[in-house]
A and B are shown apart, each in its own frame.
Chain A
């Protein structure tokens, strides 16, 4: 098996074995899914099919990135603090394979949990409205294609930064990402009313920017050296 996939499979297994982190992250995701599903059907709610499209469009990315934020540290940063990364870097796997394998694993787990949250949101909203609410085709395409690529871009860039930065800088970075992410998840509900429709243009724009970010991460990994990682172990 390709070394990149070997690493991805191991990280996937380890993430699933780390139940406390997984359940906490999933709990947060389901909390937001439930909050938004209730606001969609409650008194004075946004109502209708367009708002659920807007909700799914933003929330799928936000929750996917939030999951990825929670899990990236366990896969990249923890390997540095535990110093296991030195053993891995001394194996026949290249730095690029290591980075890619880890990025794939975190992306997959985060994406599955984000999708699960969206299913919960749709199910609860449908039960409350006593009517099956289904998202439009652009939103389905967005969740199937753009969301995983966007999550991969975030994981790739965040993982790269965690490998390159020292311990103190990493803690600061985590803080800097967490605040806007959490604020965005809370604040999103207030701006959803302004969203009229999710068109293919929106979906294309998100997908294109996600692809650009993935390309940027793939480019930046070329400039990361094993020496940089080893000398920032602390």
Chain B
């Protein structure tokens, strides 16, 4: 379990991380979102004990990793750099880290990971000859080599082609759900975060602007949106007149046969009865889920305007 309590990190006069709090549990995929310089990498470094907090604490299993190097045995990391040596072969790289982490039966574990990543044919080639995607895959294999309980990932699928990105996403989900691993990841990729994270922290200038599950973030931060498709031949104008009378409507946006309505936050609107009572034929009423991108931009802009 990771506990971040009143965590602050200052570099001279700049607060890179400003009094943040959250907890992450086993079996959970937790995503940190934010612009460059929002403090995402600093948080990972603080959790790893590479940086000392100016105030507060970043703990793993209730202890700071900086003072408990043996606890790092249970933590796997993949930072922006893959942590691989170009002059060594893929197998030599994994063998080195396996020895550092005291992996038992390392030959079998290394072979299994090469099979898993599809790099078995290249295991005896120098890493310097690998493509970006191959290095990232091997970096991920390195991070999982010692079967950690916590996996910290900084932009895990950056620079990967879509097929490998999917492989990484599936892997992260299976590690969390089947092996009960705690996954903490930083990402710019909103789509990736939306697909795999159980909870999300949105960082803005070192502060947590929002931290919750995507469902709750949607409910709390966004205006409910509904798209109405009128039946063929049904005129739009009468429908617009009816919709203006519906409670909590914020905006009405007509578009040919479709009308998009946004409502006040935290309301549960249902405009269908009003339309039916007015004799307007409706083909479909669809509740639109706002994407994480919409929510993220809304939260970021809201924080900027504060």
For chain A residues 1-22, which have a beta carbon within 8 Å of chain B? 1, 3, 6-7, 10, 13-14, 17-18
Given contacts A90-B48, A91-B72, A226-B66, contact A82 B81 (CB under 8 A): yes
Write out the residue numbers on chain B whose beta carbons fall within 8 Å of the beta carbon of A90: 48-50, 72, 75, 77, 79
Report if A176 contacts B (CB, 8 A).
no
For chain B residues 32-75, which have a beta carbon within 8 Å of chain A? 45, 48-52, 66, 69-70, 72-73, 75
Interface SS, A side? helix
Q: Mark B201-243, 1 if CB is under 8 A from A, else 0.
A: 0000000000000000000000000000000000000000000
Given contacts A94-B69, A226-B66, contact A89 B92 (CB under 8 A): no
For chain A residues 192-234, which have a beta carbon within 8 Å of chain B? 225-227, 230-231
Please tell me which one of the listed residues B48, B75, B85, B100 contacts residue A3 in the complex, with CB atoms under 8 A apart.
B100
The answer to whether B83 and A88 touch across the interface, beta carbons within 8 angstroms, is: yes
Query: How many chain-A residues does the 8 Å CB contact rule pick out?
Result: 26
Write out the residue numbers on chain A whose beta carbons fall within 8 Å of the beta carbon of B49: 90, 226
Write out the residue numbers on chain A whose beta carbons fall within 8 Å of the beta carbon of B45: 86, 230
Please tell me which one of the listed residues A1, A87, A227 contacts residue B79 in the complex, with CB atoms under 8 A apart.
A87
Report if B267 contacts A (CB, 8 A).
no
Write out the residue numbers on chain B whose beta carbons fall within 8 Å of the beta carbon of A92: 69-70, 72-73, 100-102
The answer to whether A1 and B81 touch across the interface, beta carbons within 8 angstroms, is: no
Instruction: Report A206 CB to chain B, min CB distance, Å.
Output: 34
The answer to whether A14 and B87 touch across the interface, beta carbons within 8 angstroms, is: yes
Report if B99 contacts A (CB, 8 A).
yes
Report if B155 contacts A (CB, 8 A).
no
The answer to whether A14 and B85 touch across the interface, beta carbons within 8 angstroms, is: yes
Write out the residue numbers on chain A whose beta carbons fall within 8 Å of the beta carbon of B105: none
The answer to whether B96 and A6 touch across the interface, beta carbons within 8 angstroms, is: yes
Write out the residue numbers on chain A whose beta carbons fall within 8 Å of the beta carbon of B92: 10, 13
The answer to whether B101 and A91 touch across the interface, beta carbons within 8 angstroms, is: yes
Please tell me which one of the listed residues B11, B81, B100 contacts residue A86 in the complex, with CB atoms under 8 A apart.
B81
Write out the residue numbers on chain B whose beta carbons fall within 8 Å of the beta carbon of A87: 77, 79, 81, 83
Instruction: Report A140 CB to chain B, min CB distance, Å.
Output: 35
Report if A183 contacts B (CB, 8 A).
no
Interface size class of B (residues with CB under 8 A): 20 to 34
Q: Mark B79-114, 1 if CB is under 8 A from A, else 0.
A: 111011101100010001101111000000000000
The answer to whether A84 and B73 touch across the interface, beta carbons within 8 angstroms, is: no
Write out the residue numbers on chain B whose beta carbons fall within 8 Å of the beta carbon of A93: 69, 100
Report if A83 contacts B (CB, 8 A).
yes
What's the Cα separation between A17 and B96 when bound, in Å?
15
Please tell me which one of the listed residues A13, A82, A91 contacts residue B100 in the complex, with CB atoms under 8 A apart.
A91
Q: Mark A19-62, 1 if CB is under 8 A from B, else 0.
A: 00000000000000000000000000000000000000000000
Please tell me which one of the listed residues B11, B70, B77 contacts residue A231 in the complex, with CB atoms under 8 A apart.
B11
Write out the residue numbers on chain B whose beta carbons fall within 8 Å of the beta carbon of A94: 69
What's the Cα separation between A107 and B161 when bound, in Å?
43
Write out the residue numbers on chain A whose beta carbons fall within 8 Å of the beta carbon of B70: 92
What's the Cα separation between A94 and B81 when bound, in Å?
20
Write out the residue numbers on chain A whose beta carbons fall within 8 Å of the beta carbon of B97: 91
Given contacts A90-B50, A226-B50, contact A18 B77 (CB under 8 A): no
What's the Cα separation between A13 and B126 when bound, in Å?
13
What's the Cα separation between A17 and B88 when bound, in Å?
7
Given contacts A6-B100, A91-B100, contact A14 B73 (CB under 8 A): no
Instruction: Report B41 CB to chain A, min CB distance, Å.
Output: 10
Closest partner residue, chain A, to B152 (CB atom): A90
What's the Cα separation between A230 and B259 when bound, in Å?
54
Identify the interface centre among B11, B72, B100: most chain A CB within 10 Å of its CB. B100
Write out the residue numbers on chain B whose beta carbons fall within 8 Å of the beta carbon of A230: 45, 50-51
The answer to whether B72 and A83 touch across the interface, beta carbons within 8 angstroms, is: no
Chain A interfacial positions (CB closer than 8 Å to B): 1, 3, 6-7, 10, 13-14, 17-18, 82-84, 86-94, 225-227, 230-231
- 8 inter-chain pairs at a CB distance below 8 angstroms, sorted by A residue, are A6-B100, A10-B85, A14-B85, A17-B87, A18-B87, A86-B50, A90-B48, A227-B50
